[in-house]
């Protein structure tokens, strides 16, 4: 079969995303948004910090959407482990809490300060690690 104009599908770059939240409605909403954004693909979902660490080690997603408040291992601890072991993985911390409502210990962590800086445009522009699409 002859190709005309190149294979755009094979040339597409995809950013792999892992969603981590213990609340099914949030995971469903994130899944729906990611499905509609060209160039981003949901590779897995996790319901705990422990599961997130394991999945990042196995799947190596470029982006992790991480809930802050979860069970045994919260999102802050999971983010610390992930960003130390896999510094190219970009973790976006998400929470339904206002910044003022987070525990004081969370606000002293470098991870939260970095995430807040990124949200408010204080972080440098990010180049996303990608892979070739299917």
Calculate what percentage of the chain has a pLDDT beyond 90: 43
In a domain? residue 133 = no
- For 27, the 3-state DSSP assignment is helix
pLDDT of residue 96: 73
Q: How many domains does the chain have?
A: 1
Whether 64 contacts 82, CB under 8 Å: yes
* Domain of 65, in residue numbers: 13-125
Evaluate whether residue 39 is within a structural domain: yes
Asked, for residue 1, whether it belongs to a domain, the answer is no
In a domain, 3, yes or no: no
**Cβ pair 90, 62 in contact under 8 A:** yes
Q: Kindly state whether residue 106 falls inside one of the protein's structural domains.
A: yes
Residue range 76-126, pLDDT digits in tens = 889 889 988 998 898 888 877 666 666 665 655 555 544 444 443 444 455
Asked if residue 6 belongs to a domain, the reply is no
Per-residue pLDDT, 65: 93
88: closest CA among 126, 50, 47, 52? 126
Residue with more model confidence, 124 or 48: 48
Is the pLDDT at 31 greater than 90? The verdict is yes
Would you state the pLDDT for residue 68?
85
Count of Cβ atoms closer than 10 Å to residue 29 Cβ = 13
Q: Judge whether 32 lies within some domain.
A: yes
With contact defined as beta carbons under 8 Å apart, do 61 and 44 qualify? yes
Closest CA to 97 of 118, 125, 76: 76
Domain of 18, CATH number, reads 3.40.50.2300
Residue 64 lies in a domain: yes
Q: What is the pTM for the complete model shown?
A: 0.74
């Amino acid at each position: 079969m002859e190709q005309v104009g190149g294979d755009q599908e094979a040339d597409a770059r995809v950013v792999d995303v892992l969603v981590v939240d213990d609340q099914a409605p949030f995971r469903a909403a994130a899944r729906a948004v990611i499905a509609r954004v060209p160039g981003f693909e949901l590779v897995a979902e996790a319901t705990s910090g422990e599961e997130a660490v394991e999945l990042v080690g196995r799947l190596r997603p470029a982006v992790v959407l991480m809930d802050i408040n979860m069970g045994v291992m919260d999102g802050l601890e999971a983010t610390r482990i992930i960003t130390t072991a896999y510094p190219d993985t970009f973790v976006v911390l998400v929470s339904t809490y206002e910044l003022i409502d987070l525990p004081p210990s969370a606000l002293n962590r470098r991870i939260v300060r970095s995430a807040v800086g990124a949200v408010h445009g204080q972080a440098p522009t990010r180049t996303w690690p990608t892979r070739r699409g299917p």
